[in-house]
């Protein structure tokens, strides 16, 4: 069974540009989570989507946004990029909402570098 996949693996942008990161969950998983792993800041929760709806977001500005498609894949968009947005962005998926103890399975991440 295929795991969580993310694309691209690396992304280089300049300040002020927009970045789009993509995630495909494990087949059968309807929840998708996004996390940011920035140097010195650790792993921080960004966004959670389930059944096409945004369920929760972390303490990030509105220029971080995303969506979930009918096939449960997800996109993370970062507008007006800043240097401090350089980080590894990890996507995770899990089974349906309501089963809190369900494990989140992580993808390999997209490394975003903002110059």
Partner 1 sequence: AQSVTQLGSHVSVSEGALVLLRCNYSSSVPPYLFWYVQYPNQGLQLLLKYTSAATLVKGINGFEAEFKKSETSFHLTKPSAHMSDAAEYFCAVSDLDDYKLSFGAGTTVTVRA
Shortest Cβ 10–partner 1 spacing (Å): 10
Distance CA 11, CA 115 (A): 11
Shortest Cβ 99–partner 1 spacing (Å): 9
Binding segment for partner 1 (CB under 8 A), chosen from 17-25, 60-68, 79-87, 102-110, is: 102-110
Give the CA angle between residues 97, 52, 12 to the nearest 5°. Answer: 110
Residues 17-76 that bind partner 1 (CB under 8 A): 31, 33, 35, 42-45, 48, 55-56, 58
Percentage helix, strand, coil for the chain under 3-state DSSP, each rounded to 5? 5, 50, 45
Q: Does the footprint of partner 1 cover residue 86 (CB under 8 A)?
A: no
Instruction: State residue 83 phi and psi, 5-degree precision.
Output: -55, -35
End-to-end CA, the chain: 37
Q: Does the footprint of partner 1 cover residue 78 (CB under 8 A)?
A: no
HSE-CB for 17 with a 13 A CA cutoff: 13
Shortest Cβ 87–partner 1 spacing (Å): 13
Positions that interact with partner 1 (CB under 8 A): 4, 31, 33, 35, 42-45, 48, 55-56, 58, 90, 92, 94, 97, 100-101, 103-109
């Amino acid at each position: 069974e295929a795991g969580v996949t993310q694309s691209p693996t690396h992304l280089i942008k300049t300040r002020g540009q927009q970045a789009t990161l993509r995630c495909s969950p494990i087949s059968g998983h309807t929840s998708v989570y996004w996390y940011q792993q920035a140097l010195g800041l650790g792993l921080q929760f960004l966004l959670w989507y389930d059944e096409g709806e945004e369920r929760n977001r972390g303490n990030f500005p509105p220029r971080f946004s995303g969506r979930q498609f009918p096939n449960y894949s997800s996109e993370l968009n970062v507008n007006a990029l800043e240097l401090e947005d350089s980080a590894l962005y990890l996507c995770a998926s899990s089974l349906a909402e309501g089963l809190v103890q369900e494990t989140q399975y992580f993808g390999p991440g997209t490394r975003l570098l903002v110059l």
